[in-house]
C-alpha cells in the first residue's frame, strides 16, 4: 500500500512539473496561435543556465537569471521570427519552431557534450518522509512552487488588466485590438511567461531523482505535450489537470512495470502518455477543458 501511495505522490508531483511546461504550451498557443516545438529547448536552456551559473553567483540568483534568460529567449523568438513569417498560419509556424528547436537544441547539446551538469540546488538529493512514504525533497518543493505559480497565473488572468487583456486578445484579436489592447504586448507577455515557467520546470525536471542537466531533458519536456493536449489547447487549468493525469499515468506504469511487462513490454512508461493523448484526441479533439472550435461559414 505504501508503495502504491509513493507512486501516486511521485506521479502527482511529477505531473505538477509537467503542468508548468504544459501551461507554457497553452499560453503561447492562446496568445500567438503557435505550437511551440522549441519549448523543450527553452526548458533545457533554463536548466542549463542554472547549472552553469550556480557556482559563481549561487543557486537562487542563477535561477532568477535563468528565468529572465528563458523569458527573453521566448520574447525574441516571437519578435524576431514568428512575427515575420512569410506565411502566417499554424502549420508553418509549427515548422518554424521545429527549426528554432533544431538550432537551440543542437547548440545546447554541443555545449553540454557528454557531461551531466549538476544544478547545485539547495535540496540536493535529500528525501522527505511521511510515515513510511518517502518523496524527494525537490519534488515537494516543485509541488509547492507549482501551486504558487498557478495561483499567480490565476491572479494574473482574472484580476489584472494585462491578464484580462491577454484573454481578450486570445478570444478575439482584432476586436481586442480595437478596444485598445496592444496585441504585441500581450503576445510578448505570453512568450515571456512561458519562458519563466519553462525555466522553473527545467530546474525541477533535472534535480533529484533525475541525474542532472543533459540534452535528453528537452525530450522529456516533450512529455508535457500529451498533458497540454489532454487538458485542452487553450486552457491553463486544463494544463494542470492534463499534467496530473499524465504524471500519474507514467508514474504508475513505470512503478508497476514488472507486473505489466508481459502485456506492454519494457519502457512503456515513456509511451503511455502518447497513447493517452491519441485516445483523447480521438474522443475529445479539443481536450478535457479546452473550448470547442466553432466553424463559421
In whole angstroms, give the CA distance from residue 282 to residue 256. Answer: 27
Site for another protein contains 294 (CB under 8 A): no
> In the bound complex, what is the minimum distance in angstroms from residue 268's beta carbon to another protein?
7
Q: Do the Cβ atoms of 18 and 144 come closer than 8 Å?
A: no
Count the site residues for another protein by CB under 8 A: 46
Give the residue, chosen from 89, 131, 161, 292, that forms a contact with another protein under the rule CB under 8 A.
Answer: 89
> In the bound complex, what is the minimum distance in angstroms from residue 217's beta carbon to another protein?
15
In whole angstroms, give the CA distance from residue 47 to residue 67. Answer: 9
In whole angstroms, give the CA distance from residue 50 to residue 118. Answer: 9
Give the residue, chosen from 103, 125, 148, 151, that forms a contact with another protein under the rule CB under 8 A.
Answer: 103
Polymer length of the chain? 297
> In the bound complex, what is the minimum distance in angstroms from residue 89's beta carbon to another protein?
4
Beta bridge partners of 135: 128
Q: Name residues contacting another protein, limited to 194-223 (CB under 8 A).
A: 219, 222
Give the residue, chosen from 57, 76, 98, 162, that forms a contact with another protein under the rule CB under 8 A.
Answer: 98
Beta bridge partners of 129: 134
Q: Do the Cβ atoms of 247 and 27 come closer than 8 Å?
A: no
Give the residue, chosen from 57, 76, 94, 125, that forms a contact with another protein under the rule CB under 8 A.
Answer: 94
Site for another protein contains 71 (CB under 8 A): no
Binding mask 223-262 for another protein (x = CB under 8 A): --xx--x---------------------------------
Of 43 and 65, which has the nearer Cβ to another protein? 43
φ, ψ of residue 213 to 5 degrees: the values are -85, 115
Of 57 and 219, which has the nearer Cβ to another protein? 219
Site for another protein contains 76 (CB under 8 A): no
Residue given cell 542554472 in the structure block: 50
In whole angstroms, give the CA distance from residue 27 to residue 41. Answer: 17
> In the bound complex, what is the minimum distance in angstroms from residue 214's beta carbon to another protein?
16
Q: Do the Cβ atoms of 68 and 76 come closer than 8 Å?
A: no
φ, ψ of residue 223 to 5 degrees: the values are -65, -15
Q: Do the Cβ atoms of 11 and 199 come closer than 8 Å?
A: no
Residue given cell 506565411 in the structure block: 87
Applying CB under 8 A, which part among 12-20, 110-118, 124-132, 142-150 lies near another protein? 110-118
Query: What is the number of alpha carbons within 13 Å of residue 53 lying toward its C-beta?
Result: 19
Alpha helices in 113-159 (DSSP H): 137-159
Binding mask 158-197 for another protein (x = CB under 8 A): ----------------------------------------
**Residues near another protein (CB under 8 A):** 35, 81, 84-87, 89-92, 94-96, 98-103, 106-107, 109-110, 113-114, 219, 222, 225-226, 229, 264-268, 270-271, 274-275, 277-278, 281-282, 285, 295, 297
Amino acid at each position: 500500500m505504501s508503495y502504491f501511495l509513493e507512486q501516486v505522490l511521485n506521479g502527482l508531483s511529477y505531473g505538477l512539473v509537467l503542468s508548468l511546461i504544459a501551461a507554457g504550451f497553452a499560453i503561447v498557443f492562446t496568445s500567438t496561435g503557435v505550437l511551440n516545438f522549441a519549448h523543450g529547448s527553452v526548458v533545457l536552456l533554463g536548466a542549463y543556465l542554472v547549472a552553469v551559473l550556480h557556482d559563481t553567483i549561487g543557486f537562487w540568483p542563477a535561477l532568477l537569471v535563468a528565468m529572465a534568460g528563458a523569458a527573453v529567449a521566448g520574447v525574441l523568438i516571437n519578435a524576431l521570427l514568428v512575427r515575420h513569417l512569410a506565411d502566417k498560419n499554424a502549420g508553418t509556424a509549427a515548422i518554424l519552431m521545429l527549426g528554432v528547436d533544431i538550432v537551440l537544441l543542437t547548440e545546447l547539446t554541443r555545449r553540454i557534450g557528454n557531461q551531466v551538469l549538476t544544478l547545485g540546488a539547495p535540496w540536493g538529493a535529500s528525501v522527505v518522509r511521511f510515515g513510511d512514504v518517502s518523496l524527494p525533497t525537490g519534488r515537494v518543493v516543485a509541488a509547492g512552487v507549482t501551486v504558487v505559480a498557478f495561483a499567480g497565473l490565476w491572479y494574473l488572468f482574472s484580476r489584472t488588466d494585462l491578464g484580462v487583456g491577454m484573454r481578450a486578445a486570445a478570444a478575439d484579436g482584432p476586436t481586442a485590438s480595437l478596444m485598445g489592447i496592444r496585441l504585441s504586448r500581450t503576445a510578448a507577455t505570453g512568450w515571456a511567461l512561458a519562458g519563466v515557467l519553462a525555466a522553473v520546470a527545467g530546474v525541477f525536471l533535472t534535480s533529484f531523482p533525475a541525474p542532472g542537466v543533459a540534452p535528453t531533458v528537452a525530450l522529456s519536456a516533450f512529455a508535457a505535450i500529451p498533458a497540454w493536449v489532454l487538458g485542452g489547447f487553450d486552457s491553463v487549468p486544463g494544463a494542470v489537470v492534463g499534467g496530473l493525469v499524465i504524471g500519474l499515468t507514467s508514474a504508475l506504469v513505470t512503478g508497476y512495470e514488472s507486473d505489466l511487462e508481459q502485456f506492454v513490454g519494457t519502457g512503456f512508461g515513456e509511451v503511455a502518455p502518447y497513447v493517452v493523448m491519441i485516445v483523447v484526441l480521438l474522443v475529445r479533439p479539443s481536450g478535457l477543458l479546452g473550448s470547442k472550435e466553432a466553424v463559421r461559414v
